[in-house]
Amino acid sequence: MDHIVIILAALLLIGSISIAIPSRSSREISKIRMEAKLFGCKITSNLYGENQFKNYSKYSVSYRIKNKTNLKEGHFIRDKDKLILYSPVKLKYSDSFDYLNEELQNISNSLEEVIFTSVSISFLWKELDGLDELKEIIKNFDKLKKF
């Protein structure tokens, strides 16, 4: 009986310690998020509060950077392999929409959803694609200044 109690106590201790230790993927995501803050990204939880993203259930956080483009309103969602305009529809009829659409398609396949506001660009992306992919996304958003 004493041995059973000791074994159960040891299993309980080992189980609680293993739950507290982060997994490899969560350590990688944590590292990416810390580095992203150094690049000027603000990381916000999608689980609480008002959320404008349509894919928020798949992603726990969204990234936000300062909007340096002339585009003050726009919402794009990935459908299969292309980012498509979700709103506003009037953007589709602007003179420079073709340029914007072409540039957005070339940003990254990791990018799932993008929301342009007058202040910021919020986006969802596949974090496990790595820090180099995030750098590429941010660099390509900076190229959109011409729009």
DSSP class per residue in 75-141: EEEEETTEEEEEE-GGGGGSTTHHHHHHHHHTT-SSEEEEEE-SSEEEEEE-GGG-HHHHHHHHHHH
pLDDT at 42: 94
What is the pLDDT, as a whole number, of residue 3?
Answer: 87
**How crowded is residue 117: how many other Cβ atoms within 10 Å of its Cβ?**
15
Give residue 67's pLDDT: 92
CA distance 110 to 70: 24
CA 43, CA 34: separation in Å to the nearest integer?
10
Q: How far apart are CA 106 and CA 101, in angstroms?
A: 9
The rounded distance, in Å, linking the Cα atoms of 26 and 44 is 17
Q: Is the peptide bond before 22 cis (omega within 30 degrees of 0)?
A: no
Q: How far apart are CA 40 and CA 79, in angstroms?
A: 28
The confidence score (pLDDT) of residue 118 equals 92
Residue ranges per structural domain of the chain: 24-146
Q: Which residues of the chain have pLDDT under 70?
A: 49, 56-57, 146-147
Which backbone phi and psi does 63 adopt, to 5 degrees? -105, 145
User: How many angstroms from the chain centroid is the CA of residue 8?
Assistant: 42
Q: What is the pLDDT of residue 124?
A: 93
pLDDT at 49: 66
- C-alpha gyration radius of the chain: 21
Give this prediction's pTM: 0.82
